């Protein structure tokens, strides 16, 4: 994201600098060296053009190396390690090189953090122990002591504990079961259909986690890590019994919901994490019920694997666990930065045309990136129309189409969500249940209005001539005052 940030910063400085140069200030520190500033902007623009690939800009959203530690065990469980690009020697050395002096690991590198984070440290320790690093070596001892000092394995996020349960290192019975009835979109429980309540990014993960918890699925993998508990369990966690009977109707419904989330490039809902969880659930389903959806399940696992591989071993910074593809958002941001920095709009027309053709959906909203076509993004669409407004009347029709969709996306409180209206935090029963289940500590469960999304959209609308007296803008301002 550095290139987009520098471009936007450069454009801002350019406007500030032009003002500062015109002031009769006696303080020389207030005067901007315009030649140096223009040199930085020009260099940033050249850097941006050099990063263009196949007509788009795409800067992966990294999760951190610990997701590659997880991936090693997921590949083993799925029987796909030999097919993967995963290089154990390279990755092991990467972890050895990135451990902090206090024994911990960061999620991703951040200059301002003086220490690491618990969950990455747990998973990276587990991986290194599993590939043969002596747990009593100085580096592993430091990591273990750091984990204990920060609450032990018991203090990890619920999602991390669930993943450890999948591999036989945490007790499934410590998690509340998730009722299968909430995945039924017809019949008596239609009003409780969870897909209509939780955020777009939650549902693809929730379907898989529900299946894994329902059967307490265990793929016994990796070295034992009971030494990471502050209070170690007294016995090993029990393995589930496999059943080869026909799946019950509610399980089959859940699996169908999961399969419906497959996207054309192989992901389940657009995310690598949800894809891997779904693959683990479907592998278990395939083993339990080999005659149900056999070909679809097999194909889904293979395509999911290919999707994850393309993200985790991307050509920018591999082995950092990329979450998804966000190329349309990145292309909007870089285009905006270039235009603000004075680039000739005609040079960007082919990129904009391609983005509209590929990324904008029938309702006028634009997808965040590949495999998000099913869920256009209000935030991205707000800044899309801002960029399009810089081309005069060339994209007037598209702007109006996108504005109509944005008008339909405003929440009752006057703010705007990312993906879906009316998925606010006022679903008291679901909020209580998610808090009780401990899932809320791993992600935002709902899709409430957001001040930054709202102001992005206001900025886009303002660029197209929307005024303060617009009912939509008035409601947005009231929302911002309240928040």
Any idea which residues carry the catalytic annotation?
Answer: 379
Contact 300, 307 (CB under 8 A): no
Rounded to whole angstroms, the Cα distance separating 342 from 49 reads 14
Tell how far CA 74 is from the center of its chain: 19
Contact 339, 390 (CB under 8 A): yes
> Residue 170: is it exposed, middle or buried by C-beta count within 10 angstroms (0-12/13-18/19+)?
buried
Residue 248 has what DSSP assignment?
A: P
Rounded to whole angstroms, the Cα distance separating 284 from 411 reads 40
Instruction: Give just the sign of the alpha carbon dihedral 463, 16, 2, 96.
Output: negative
Plot region of 178 (φ>0 → left; ψ -120 to 50 → alpha; else → beta): beta
Rounded to whole angstroms, the Cα distance separating 253 from 205 reads 16
| Structural element, H or E, at residue 122 | helix 118-130
Contact 89, 133 (CB under 8 A): no
Helices and strands in the chain: count of H runs, count of E runs = 18, 0
| Rounded alpha-carbon distances, angstroms, from residue 370 to 54, 91, 227, 302, 383 | 13, 27, 42, 18, 18
Residues with Cβ within 8 Å of 393's Cβ and at least 6 positions away in sequence, in order, are none
Residue 262 has what DSSP assignment?
A: B
Residues with Cβ within 8 Å of 31's Cβ and at least 6 positions away in sequence, in order, are 20, 21, 25
| Structural element, H or E, at residue 481 | helix 471-482
Dihedrals φ, ψ of 261, to 5°?
A: -85, -5
Rounded to whole angstroms, the Cα distance separating 323 from 462 reads 32
How many CB atoms lie under 10 A from the CB of residue 1? 11
């Amino acid at each position: 994201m550095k290139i987009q940030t520098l471009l936007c910063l450069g454009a801002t400085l350019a406007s500030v600098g032009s003002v500062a140069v015109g002031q009769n200030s006696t303080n020389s520190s207030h005067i901007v060296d315009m030649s140096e500033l223009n040199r930085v902007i020009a260099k940033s623009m050249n850097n941006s053009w050099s990063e263009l690939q196949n007509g788009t800009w795409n800067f992966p959203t990294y999760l951190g190396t610990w997701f590659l530690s997880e991936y090693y065990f997921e590949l083993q469980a799925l029987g796909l390690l030999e097919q993967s690009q995963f290089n154990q020697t390279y990755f092991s050395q990467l972890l050895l090189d990135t451990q902090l002096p206090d024994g911990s690991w960061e999620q991703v590198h951040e200059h301002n953090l003086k220490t690491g984070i618990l969950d990455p440290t747990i998973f990276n320790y587990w991986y290194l122990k599993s590939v043969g690093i002596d747990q009593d070596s100085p580096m592993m001892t430091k990591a273990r002591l750091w984990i204990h000092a920060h609450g032990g394995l018991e203090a990890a996020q619920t999602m991390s504990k669930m993943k450890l349960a999948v591999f036989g290192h945490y007790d499934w019975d410590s998690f509340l079961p998730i009722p299968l009835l909430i995945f039924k979109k017809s019949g008596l429980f239609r009003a409780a259909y969870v897909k209509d309540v939780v955020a777009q990014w939650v549902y693809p993960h929730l379907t898989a986690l529900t299946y894994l918890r329902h059967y307490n699925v265990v793929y016994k993998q990796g070295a034992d890590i009971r030494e990471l508990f502050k209070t170690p369990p007294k016995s090993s966690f029990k393995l589930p019994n496999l059943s080869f009977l026909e799946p019950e109707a509610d399980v089959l419904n859940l699996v169908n919901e999961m399969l419906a989330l497959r996207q054309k490039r192989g992901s389940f809902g657009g995310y690598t994490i949800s894809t891997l969880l779904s693959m683990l659930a479907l592998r278990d389903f395939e083993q339990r019920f080999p005659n149900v959806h056999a070909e679809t399940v097999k194909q889904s696992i293979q395509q999911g694997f290919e999707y994850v591989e393309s993200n985790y071993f991307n050509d920018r910074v591999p082995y950092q666990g990329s979450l998804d593809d966000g190329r349309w958002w990145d292309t909007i941001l870089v285009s905006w930065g270039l235009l603000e920095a004075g680039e000739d709009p005609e040079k960007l027309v082919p990129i904009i045309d391609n983005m509209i053709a590929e990324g904008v959906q029938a309702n006028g909203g634009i997808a965040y990136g590949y495999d998000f076509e099913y869920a256009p993004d209000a935030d991205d669409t707000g800044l899309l129309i801002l960029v399009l407004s810089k081309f005069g009347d060339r994209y007037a029709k598209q702007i109006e189409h996108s504005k109509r969709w944005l008008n339909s996306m405003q929440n009752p409180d006057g703010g705007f969500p990312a993906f879906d209206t009316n998925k606010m935090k006022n679903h008291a029963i679901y909020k209580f249940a998610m808090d009780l289940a401990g899932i809320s500590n791993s992600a935002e469960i709902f899709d409430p209005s957001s001040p930054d999304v709202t102001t992005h959209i206001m900025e886009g609308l303002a660029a197209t001539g929307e005024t303060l007296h617009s009912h939509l803008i008035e409601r947005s301002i009231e929302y911002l005052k309240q928040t």
